[in-house]
With several copies, the nearest count.
Chain A
Amino acid sequence: MPFIPHTDAEVEAMLAVIGAPNIDALFDEIPVELGSGKLVSVPDALNEMEITRLMHERAEQDSRQLNFIGAGAYEHHIPAAVWQIATRGEFYSAYTPYQAEASQGTLQLIYEYQTMMASLTGMDVSNASLYDGGSALAEAVLMAVRAHKNATRILMPRTVSPLYRAVVRNIVKNQHIELMELDYDPVSGTTPVPEIAVGDFAALVIPQPNFFGALEDVDALTDWAHAHGALAIGLVNPTALGLLKPPGVWGERGADMAAGDGQPLGAPLSNGGPYYGFLTCKQALVRQMPGRIVGRTLDLDGKPGFALTLQAREQHIRRSKATSNICTNQGLVVTASTIYMSLLGPTGLRRVASAAHANILQLAEQLCAIRGVTRAFRSPCFHEMVIQLNRPASAVLGELAAAGILGGYDLCADYPELGNAMLVCATETKTAADLGRYAEQLNLCMQEGSDADI
């Protein structure tokens, strides 16, 4: 049987030691009325050769196109070293590092990750990861409510990804937390400082860049939150932090927490996962932090080493009083990400960010030169922008896809007020030729389409 090493002779010997006549006897405590458990729709086994062929065929079906979709998952170059090292058996097939002395590889790596992520976001402390950006934001919201003690309302701008807002809602809704949406300025596409005089808000979420790719006035928003007794939660794209001011220094006192999706730092698009959520905060909030945290300590000989710490926050110790139910996190992706950040360093990350930014500017120029295409918002953007079309976005996207181009993310369902709008992304992976090809093809669609519309 696949992956079972036993020979018949060994099975006999083992049963003799146990004193059981056969393997079935080992299940004699299971009430027979529960049935045989016979599998009826699991197909017969494929050997590795057969499954290899099948999966190659399927992967080839999933064709590679020129991708301009972002919307929370970004195509970046991932150095070859990243996954070659992350998938080494010692990282790949280890469990959560409960036995610290036999897990120094993973533990030291997480400590290094925490350092990088805290510094990147301008915070003091990072945990070892959460599931993804959306669930990290949900945990940040729960954390804010715990920290604030007096308030359970959260201000949530509509410029936060609608997918993230849905996730947060689904996760926190049973705990009587109210999410109050804030509308955006239709000209700038950013969130104005709220005009709510006072209120019992636990926190304000501040996305940077926001879902439209636009840059929020994070200083003003942070200061407003603090002035109103609320915590400020920065929701950030970590690549952008190569270029943009980190949450820790927003406004007068800096945001209190930062969360986001670590995918841009070394995780492939991979149909949407596995990615990972990061969460960092100021020192004062560390005991409210959900998830694993690694600390540096000393061994019996006084030599430095690493171990999971502050476990009293966690479910396996605190059970119903834990800061979260999270147990397994996204360790391997964090491993990859740590290697990614190490390979890029501050200069590489800044260059990736600026190259992406330069690309979207160039793309914006080319696309907006096309008749029927306009830019939706005036504010500066990072590497995504919203364009509005004089034809249905879904039709245009379909035509582009037929030509091998994934043109963007259709905004109509989430932001009907924007009309035929779509969110377009260009990362550092796009060459001038790629941008040109997109513009040319969109130009064709818009012309033919408007002809067709007549």
Chain B
Amino acid sequence: MLIFEHSVPERMAYAQMPAEALEADDLPVHLLRRDKPLLPEASEMDVVRHYTRLSQKNFSIDTHFYPLGSCTMKYNPRACNSLAMLPGFLNRHPFAPVQTGQGYLASMYELQEILCDVTGMAGVSLAPMAGAQGEFAGVAMIRAYHDARGDHARREIIIPTAAHGTNPATAVMCGYSVREIPTDATGNVDLAALQAAVGPQTAGLMLTNPSTLGVFEQQIQRIQKIVHDAGGLLYYDGANLNAILGRVKPGDMGFDVIHINLHKTFSTPHGGGGPGAGPVGVSTRLLPYLPIPLVAYCDGNYRLLTEADRPHSIGRLSANNGNAGVLLRAYIYARMLGAEGMHRVAEFATLNANYLLAKLRQAGFDIAFPTRRASHEFIVTLKHLKDETGVTAMDFAKRLLDYGYHAPTTYFPMLVPECLLIEPTETESMATLDGFVAAMTAILAEARSNPELVKGAPYTQPVRRLDDVKAARELDLVWRHK
């Protein structure tokens, strides 16, 4: 039932109503609203009950194992939530004088420092509101750098075909064209193709490492050299930072700019779609271009730097201070981990991934890059199974829901057919992983003995398999009174 179906004309949640004010008769009539917007007319309890029940229709980290590759769905500490929502933080206006926000600003300043250390970069801006905006900031800085040097010929960004869709989309938003380069059979960048692709038109390369194939790019130093030698800059898509946190720093790989998905590696909650935070870190040469605001500490006070302080900045990307509340959660998480805990993140994320890979291989699954170590995630391909039984990766994924596990990422990266990208994260226990292997094994058997069963999945969810084609063909995007 939709909330609108609980709606009855004139019903109200009275405790939420300010007293009726005098009619706004000073306002010109032609500027006033005449219709009643289609908001629910419901009691407070109706609303509470509706959304409480709706929430129960979700899988989530707090209820299920959620091995969604590339998404780093790990435990979101509850303390981060309650502490970031303390009234002192929640009630502060972004334009209140800095003296009233020293607690918040101190935390942001320290977060900048922590992220500098983690990435090995010279400076960090917390401004971008998600990974994709971090990418935007990064590529915009690359462009600002070339432009500042009068190097206007560099109109191309090189991106491996395995890259996340935001990479090429971002390059285009920054006015670049995209040149894709292939991946070799072991999951590394095809060096020859890269060598062939670079040139005076090269503004930069965007690389995810470990790549979306779940493997660490072994030729990272040569790649770096090829691109830098050609005059391009190197962009590090840090969405997979969880795999290397405290093991190796992108700055030490010679990269010029990186974005970090705090809603992945720093465990801020994904909230059913966001908000995230995508801070960018840069090497010295890109420092002047960092997006504002930045937090500075001088004379015993924290303050925000603006255009006036940072004339070469690519500017602000948000009207206010980015996703401050998300950043606070990341800061709290970082402090609870500490240096030692942070080193452990990559270790145990990697241990879990390699264990799961080994167990699934034993169980008869095809591993996409069987000769490689898994990073914090890895790919299973169901190509053979599909050929044999007709059961697709999507069918398999849906059937996992019936077993009480969220499905891994399906059909991404696109270059591996019928793939499942599996990322367990460090916060899951061996018992959970074993349970997942058991479910995978059981479904494999089902696919062989009773493929129709798997193709009809799921059976235990609030709805059966949904018709996506109909959704896109017969658009029904808003509710209307029958």
**Is the pair A297, B430 in contact by a Cβ cutoff of 8 Å?**
no
Measured CB to CB, the closest approach of chain B to A107, in angstroms, equals 9
Contact A102 B461 (CB under 8 A): yes
Of B7-15, B192-200, B444-452, the one contacting chain A is B7-15
Which of B252, B338, B456 makes the CB contact (< 8 A) with A34?
B252
Listed residue (A18, A176, A273) with the most chain B CB atoms within 10 angstroms of its CB: A273
Partner of B100, one of A6, A46, A102, A401: A401
0/1 string, A206-237, CB within 8 A of B gives 1:
00000000010011000000000000000000
In the complex, B140 has a CB within 8 A of chain A? yes
Chain A's closest residue to B48 (CB) is A81
Q: Name which residue of chain A comes closest to B82, CB basis.
A: A80
Q: Mark B136-176, 1 if CB is under 8 A from A, else 0.
A: 10001001000000000000000000001110111111110
Chain B positions within 8 Å of A354 at CB level: 20-24
Instruction: Answer whether A94 and B40 are a contact pair too, CB < 8 Å, given A342-B51, A351-B21.
Output: no
Among listed A149-157, A194-202, A307-315, A433-441, interface-contacting one: A307-315
Say if the beta carbon of A451 comes within 8 Å of chain B: no
Q: How far is the CB of B350 from chain A (nearest CB, A)?
A: 5
Q: Answer yes or no: B32 CB below 8 A from chain A CBs.
A: yes
Interface residues of A in 86-134 (CB under 8 A from B): 87-106, 108-112, 114-116, 118-120, 124-126, 128-129, 131-134
| CB <8 Å contact, B373 and A299 | no
Chain A residues with CB below 8 A from B106, complex form? 58
Q: How many A-B residue pairs have CB under 8 A?
A: 760
Could you say which residues of chain B place their CB within 8 Å of the CB of A325?
132-133, 135-136, 166, 169-170, 172-173
CA of A288 to CA of B74, assembled, Å = 34
A284 on the B face (CB < 8 A): no
Q: Is B79 an interface residue (CB 8 A)?
A: yes
Residue of B nearest to A268 (CB): B90
- A63-B100, A273-B318 are contacts. A93–B61 as well, Cβ < 8 Å? yes
Asked whether, in the complex, the Cβ of A4 is within 8 Å of the Cβ of B71, the reply is no
| Contact of B435 with A by CB under 8 A | no
Q: Are A94 and B477 in contact (CB under 8 A)?
A: no
A395 interface residue per 8 A CB criterion:
no
- Residue among A30, A275, A300, A339 making CB contact with B244, cutoff 8 Å: A30
Cβ of B130 < 8 Å from any Cβ of A? yes
A118 to B38, CA, bound (A): 9
Q: Which of B227-235, B280-288, B353-361, B383-391 contacts A (4 or more CB under 8 A)?
A: B353-361
Cβ of B41 < 8 Å from any Cβ of A? yes
Check if B93 sits within 8 Å of A75, measured CB to CB: yes
Q: Is B86 an interface residue (CB 8 A)?
A: yes
Check if B370 is an interface residue, CB within 8 A of chain A: no
Interface string of A326-347 (1 = CB under 8 A from B): 1111111111001101111111
Asked whether B18 lies within 8 Å of A428 as measured between CB atoms, the reply is yes
A432 → chain B, closest Cβ, in Å?
12
**Contact of B315 (CB < 8 Å), options: A1, A126, A166, A261:** A166
Residue pair B275, A328 in contact (C-beta under 8 Å): yes
Shortest beta-carbon distance, A83 to chain B, in Å? Answer: 7
* Inter-chain contact A93/B62, CB cutoff 8 Å: yes
Are A101 and B462 closer than 8 Å at their CB atoms? yes
A39 touches B118 (CB 8 A): yes
Interface mask (B13-54 → A, CB under 8 Å = 1, otherwise 0): 111111111111011101111101111111111111011101
The reply to whether A5 and B429 form a contact with Cβ atoms under 8 Å apart is: yes
Chain B residues in 8 Å Cβ range of A305: 462-463, 466
A69 to B319, CA, bound (A): 15
What is the bound-complex CA distance between A84 and B36, given in angstroms? 28
Residues of A with C-beta under 8 A to B312: none
Interfacial chain B residues near A91, Cβ < 8 Å: 55, 58, 60, 271-272
Max count, chain B CB within 10 A of own CB: residue among A13, A35, A241, A303: A35
B185 within 8 A of A: no
Contact check, B89 vs A40: say whether CB atoms are below 8 A apart.
no
Q: What total of chain B residues lie within 8 Å of the partner, measured CB to CB?
A: 215
- Residues of chain B within 8 A (CB-CB) of A403 are none
Within 8 Å of chain B (Cβ to Cβ): is A171?
Answer: yes
**A27–B247 CB distance below 8 A:** yes
Q: Are B274 and A120 in contact (CB under 8 A)?
A: no
CB < 8 Å neighbour of B427 from A4, A111, A169: A4
CB distance from B71 to the nearest CB of A (A): 5
Asked if A51 lies at the interface with its beta carbon under 8 angstroms from chain B, I say yes
**Contact call B319/A133, Cβ cutoff below 8 A:** yes
Instruction: Tell me if A299 and B463 are in contact (CB < 8 A).
Output: yes
Q: How far, in Å, is B421 (CB) from chain A's closest CB?
A: 12
CB of B303 closer than 8 Å to a CB of A: no
Q: How far is the CB of B130 from chain A (nearest CB, A)?
A: 4
- Asked if residues B113 and A41 are in contact (CB atoms below 8 Å), the reply is yes
Is B482 in contact with chain A by the CB < 8 A criterion? no
- Could you say which residues of chain B place their CB within 8 Å of the CB of A171? 136, 173, 317
> If the complex has contacts A23-B351, A273-B326, A348-B16, are A119 and B426 also in contact, measured as CB distance less than 8 A?
no
Q: Given A39-B246, A58-B103, list of 16 further CB < 8 A pairs?
A: A1-B340, A31-B218, A39-B117, A90-B57, A111-B2, A129-B273, A135-B129, A135-B318, A170-B140, A309-B471, A328-B270, A332-B271, A342-B50, A344-B39, A345-B12, A401-B99
A/B interface sample: 24 pairs, CB < 8 A: A4-B344, A6-B429, A8-B10, A13-B430, A17-B355, A30-B244, A34-B248, A55-B332, A56-B87, A59-B87, A92-B76, A93-B76, A101-B458, A103-B58, A142-B173, A244-B31, A244-B32, A245-B30, A271-B104, A272-B322, A297-B470, A316-B165, A319-B169, A331-B271
